[in-house]
Amino acid sequence: MSAPLILVLNGPNLNLLGTREPEIYGTDTLEDVRLVAARAAEQLGCTLDFRQSNHEGVLIDWIHEARGTAAGIIINAGAYTHTSIALLDALKAVDLPVIEVHLSNIFHREPFRHTSYPGRAAVGVIAGFGGQSYVLAVAALANLLRASQV
C-alpha cells in the first residue's frame, strides 16, 4: 500500500517567509518549513505535496485536484483565511479532512484576523508555533487518516 498523500497549500505572501515581517513570522523560509514538514510526514508514513501560490484561483484548482489524489489537506491560506468564501466552498466540496495552519497566533493579532473561512471546513486549526505548526498539523492529519482506516 502506498503512503497517504497530504496536500499542503500555502497562500499569498508565504513565498516571502524569512524576510517578510520576521518579528511575526520568524526567519525560516518556506523551503525550511517544507523540509521539516516532509521529514515529519516521512516518519509518519505519509508523503507531502507542498505548494504555494499568491493566486486564489490556483489554490482552488489545487483543492479540486486533491479530490482524486490526496488523503487530506493542510492549508495556510495566508490573508485569504480572512476573506475567501471561495476557498471554504472548495474545501467543503472535496470532502477530505482539512487542517488549517498558521505560523502566528491569529487570535493574538488584529481583530480582522480572528475570522477564518477555511477554518469552517477544517477538522482543527493549529496556530502560533511557527514552522512547527506544520509539523503538528502533519502529525494530526496522519493520526486522523490512520484512525479512519481502522
Amino acid at 133: S
Annotated binding residue at 103? yes
Annotated binding residue at 95? no
The catalytically annotated residue of 80, 102, 117, 134 is 102
Q: Is 111 exposed, middle or buried (0-12, 13-18, 19+ CB in 10 A)?
A: exposed
In terms of DSSP H, where are the helices of the chain?
Answer: 22-25, 30-43, 56-66, 85-94, 132-149
Q: Is 96 helix (H, G, I), strand (E, B) or coil?
A: coil
Residue whose entry in the numeric block shows the C-alpha cell 477564518: 116
Annotated binding residue at 113? yes
Annotated binding residue at 35? no
78: cell is: 495566508
25 given a catalytic annotation: yes
Residue 24 vs residues 16, 90, 111, 119, 122: alpha-carbon distances, Å: 13, 29, 16, 21, 24
The catalytically annotated residue of 25, 80, 117, 134 is 25
Catalytic positions = 25, 102
Residue ranges of the binding site: 76, 82, 89, 103-104, 113
Residue ranges of the binding site for substrate: 76, 82, 89, 103-104, 113
